[in-house]
Every structure is written in C-alpha cells, then in structure tokens.
Amino acid sequence: RKEVEQDPGPFNVPEGATVAFNCTYSNSASQSFFWYRQDCRKEPKLLMSVYSSGNEDGRFTAQLNRASQYISLLIRDSKLSDSATYLCVVNTNAGKSTFGDGTTLTVKP
Amino acid sequence: DAMVIQNPRYQVTQFGKPVTLSCSQTLNHNVMYWYQQKSSQAPKLLFHYYDKDFNNEADTPDNFQSRRPNTSFCFLDIRSPGLGDAAMYLCATSRGLAQDTQYFGPGTRLTVL
C-alpha cells in the first residue's frame, strides 16, 4: 500500500463546475500537509497548506481529518487555467516528504 | 527572479557514464532536497540536507550521491547511470522541515542512451 494515495482521476469537468480531490495517508507520524499543483513538464508549485481547522483561499478549500488520515481539496467555479495535476504532499517532522501520484484535472469550455 | 536554479535543464549521458546535476538557491534556506520524477509518477524523495546534515532515504540506490559544499549549492551525482535512471530530477529548498513550503527548481531532464 502506498504511503499517500490519491484519487486516480483523471477528472474532466466543464468550466464552472465544482470538483473535489481526496487523499489518504498511512503514516500516523505525519505532521504537515500540502496541496501542490504541477503543470505539464513543469515543477510542482505550492497551492496551499492544509490546516487542521480547514482553510480557504479564494475558490480553493482544503480540509484535514487527522483521525481518518484524510485530506481533501475542493475547487469551486473551475476555470480553464485550473487544468493541471494536483499533488497531495505529506511531511513528517524528520523531513520525510511523500508525494501522492497526483490527480489530473482537465477543465473544458 | 529565479530562486531555485537547476543546471543543466536537459542532460544527455551514456549508459554508465557519471553525471552531475547542479542546484543553487538564493533563498538562504536550510534544507535542500533532491527528487526523482518519472513520467506520470509522483516525485520521489532521494535525500535531503538540513544544513550540512545529510539524510538519505532508505530506498535510494547507492548509485545516487549528493554533495552540499555550501548553503547555496547542492549537487546530485549519478555514478553509473542506467536506462532506468532516465527521469526528471527536481531540486527543492525549504527554510525548515515539516511545516515549511518547498520551493522547486525547474528540474533537469536526464536522458540515458
């Protein structure tokens, strides 16, 4: 079983749709959680950190459930520019950083 | 301005011929990471430095080595590249561990002939 597992995708949605991605992690020592975005043949870039209380940044909302070891990302009002691969990242305090395989989103006109 | 720089962007080497990839940062971050990313797969952490302390992932092959001569620079040495080592190699930095954001360089795409 992988340490970090994401929805396999791909997700193909129309503009304006709401889409949700899920991620589960197996290491109970995990301390920090992030969503990164990676465009084709580019490096990953931070989308948002994920806090226990949940956090929102514009159209993006991230949630963390430590008891269930589960992270989610919700994108509202999808734009064409949201098309990318979304990577769930889980860190331990020791510096071990584990990426999920990513979920590919394509937003269509 | 680029904050994490990787050189070269594209590297072609021959099977078994040693190759060195370079990463530099202008952020003065304590931590530098090397990841390997193959097509349609997640970036896989190879190792990281916290300052001068080297931390190797348990499943990183001995063929991969790293050097960090100073805060700004970190090198990835592949001693005897095999065909399976062809991948994108990503360097990242962060101020500290765990809670801090990682900033990635643009990557070096390695081809092994």
**Interatomic CA distance for residues B63 and B15, integer angstroms:** 13
pLDDT of residue A15: 97
Q: Which residues lie closer than 8 Å to B22 by C-beta, 6 or more apart?
A: B6, B7, B8, B73, B75
Cα dihedral across residues A102, B36, B12, B85: positive or negative? negative
Mapped onto helix, strand or coil, the DSSP state of residue A17 is coil
Q: Which residues of B90-99 are buried (b: 16+ CB within 10 A; e: fewer)?
A: bbbbbeebbe
Task: Report the mean per-residue pLDDT for chain B.
Answer: 94
For A31, the closest of B55, B98, B101 (CB atoms) is B98
Task: Choose from B31, B50, B88, B104 for mutation: most chain A CBs within 10 A.
Answer: B104
pLDDT tens-digit map of A14-35 = 999 999 999 999 988 888 999 9
| Chain A residues touching B104 at Cβ < 8 A | 43-45
Q: Which residues of B31-66 are buried (b: 16+ CB within 10 A; e: fewer)?
A: bbbbbbbeeeebbbbbbbbbeeeebeeeebeeebbb
Q: Tokens 């990841």: give the residue.
A: B35
Q: Which phi and psi (to 5°) does residue B57 adopt? A: -70, 145
Amino acid identity for residue B102 in this structure: Q
CA-based nearest residue to B60, from B72, B44, B39: B44
pLDDT of residue B86: 97
pLDDT of residue A9: 83
pLDDT tens-digit map of A30-72 = 889 999 999 998 999 999 999 888 899 999 999 999 999 999 9
pLDDT for residue B104 is more than 80: yes
> Which DSSP letter does residue B109 get?
E
| Chain A residues touching B99 at Cβ < 8 A | 31-32, 49, 91
| Chain A residues touching B45 at Cβ < 8 A | 96-99
Q: Give me the torsion for CA of A57, B4, B106, B54, rounded to 10°.
A: -100
Amino acid identity for residue B65 in this structure: Q
Token pair for B7: 């050189």
pLDDT for residue A12 is more than 70: yes
Mapped onto helix, strand or coil, the DSSP state of residue A87 is strand
The CA distance from B39 to the nearest CA of chain A, in Å, is 9
Token pair for A5: 């597992």
**Interatomic CA distance for residues A99 and B44, integer angstroms:** 7
pLDDT tens-digit map of A78-104 = 999 999 999 999 988 777 889 999 999
**Interatomic CA distance for residues B84 and B33, integer angstroms:** 21
pLDDT of residue B1: 66
pLDDT of residue B99: 72
* B45–A contact, CB cutoff 8 A: yes
pLDDT of residue B101: 87
**Interatomic CA distance for residues A63 and A109, integer angstroms:** 28
Task: Choose from B25, B102, B110 for mutation: most chain A CBs within 10 A.
Answer: B102
* B31–A contact, CB cutoff 8 A: yes
- Inspect the interface and report whether the beta carbons of B98 and A49 lie closer than 8 Å: no
* A88–B contact, CB cutoff 8 A: no
